[in-house]
Amino acid sequence: MSEGGWSAVLIHPDDDVAVALRALEPGAVRVRRGDAVIDATLAEPIALGHKFALHDIAPGEPVRKYGDSIGVAASAIKTGAHVHVHNLRSERARKAD
């Protein structure tokens, strides 16, 4: 864990995902959210710098990081699941079509 006791960070308060500050194993993690620390539970390993869902996200719902949509869920994303190209569809790619 980091010096402050957390191992992931929520970049913006409106985000649906947190970012791992180190490689994380399934189970309980502490997430820095502004001046507070919240608890989350990982469903699978998360690599350094990768995202995980802080709540269930339904297919077609926008996924927010940096306070803005980074794409839509291509499939159901459960709380604590890795969020990456296998379950996230970029809106930028769709706009280019």
pTM: 0.89
Q: How far is CA 22 from CA 6, 30, 48, 51, 94, in A?
A: 10, 12, 4, 11, 31
Q: Which domains does the chain have, with CATH numbers?
A: 8-96 (2.30.130.110)
Percent share of the chain, pLDDT over 70: 90
Q: Which regions of the chain are under pLDDT 50?
A: none
For residues 97 and 19, what is the distance between their CA atoms, to the nearest angstrom? 29
Q: Which residues contact 68 (CB under 8 A, 6 or more apart)?
A: none
